[in-house]
Chains A and B, each alone.
Chain A
């Protein structure tokens, strides 16, 4: 048992150093969520409103991406990026994580859109809204509200998966943790702290979203 020797104190002293990795972790997460959200929303639109070939293509995309491990996508983009032009590992990670989550967000958005009763968009059409106005003022605002809890789960998964960025050498939380370990040889304690930081982040994220869910809840 070596948790409580001097080197343990060293680990605790490295906390500020570890926390500096938060910036990368959070920006990778947010950018990936945004990218995945955009692709996912377009995929959902294609699968709900698209013509048959488009629907099939979007479905095939989702099914394929859902079957691919994040690491496979990550390394593929990493090698592709370094093959074609100098793409930073940060970009590779955001792209990989964004593409990976897009398939799941597509499912979430699609379920949300399909859960809105047909009468809503019929009533909008009946007062002369264009399909575009109809979708953005009537269907989407209601669908997004219903998506929040599922989207929150997905966002937490993306946050946790962002830890895989360390394999490319991105100095986020996990990578910094490994530097701390190589100096202090305190893997247990270090991973415990890193685990705690992630736990706090996911809690803040999910609590924040459920607060938002309450805030935007339709009265009644």
Chain B
């Protein structure tokens, strides 16, 4: 047991570096995914014609293909078209593209769940369509979206681990480095896994706290399992 603990302390600095990289990837992918995903949701909900079709197709294609394929497309495929991107930004872009499609669907779901009457009431006091969406629908939808968005966050933090496949030194990759050096795979993976569990527990707590802070008094958001 002492031995295990000593081993953990010995590998902790390396894992810590990996964890920081994982967090960097997660924050990058989630925020970029948000920046892309929210407009997509608006177009898919309120748009029409070609634009709406393109957005819908984008969402379906991204959600219908594996994240690894998207990652390899960006990192190995794009250079053939003359677009060369470094590992870390490549990972962030691929993860963000993936996340944007899911976030778009979550936002759309939230927007649709704000009742029709809210929008009508906004228009009735003379707001334009844009104003009604911006001032009436979105403030409510952004609260409703928190629980599914929190799932997406957990999902992203976990899936940053695939960046290890293009040798980004995140937590999983650091673990692999340690395994090849020490030949102690089980212990290493145990500690790696534990770090993920702890980080995600903390992040979920924070999101829960935010959710309670911004909750509209007397208005319950229903949370699935």
Contacts and interface: CB of A to CB of B under 8 A. Distances in A.
Nearest to B75: A187
Contact of A72 (B73, B78, B193): B193
A72 B172 contact: yes
Contacts of B196: 67-69, 72
A72 B63 CA distance: 23
A79 B176 CA distance: 12
Interface of B: 60-61, 63-70, 72-73, 76-82, 154, 158-159, 161-162, 164-165, 172, 175-176, 185-186, 189-190, 192-193, 196-197, 200-201, 224-225
Contacts of A164: 66, 68, 162
Interface of A: 1-3, 64, 66-73, 75-76, 79-80, 83, 107-108, 110-111, 156, 160-161, 163-164, 166-167, 174, 181, 186-188, 191-192, 194-195, 198-199, 202-203
11 contacts: A67-B197, A68-B196, A72-B172, A76-B190, A83-B186, A108-B225, A156-B63, A181-B76, A188-B78, A199-B64, A202-B63
B77 A68 contact: no
Majority SS at the chain B contact face: helix
Interface centre among B60, B66, B81, B154 (most CB of A within 10 A): B66
B161 A64 contact: no
A163 B72 CA distance: 12
A163 B69 contact: yes
Contact of A198 (B66, B176, B185): B66
Listed from nearest, the 10 A-B pairs whose CB atoms lie closest are A188-B77, A79-B185, A69-B161, A187-B76, A160-B66, A163-B66, A199-B64, A67-B200, A202-B64, A67-B197
A164 B172 CA distance: 14
B178 to A, nearest CB: 12
A68 B193 contact: yes
A1 B79 CA distance: 10
B197 to A, nearest CB: 4
Contacts of A203: 64
A208 B79 CA distance: 37
B64 A1 contact: no
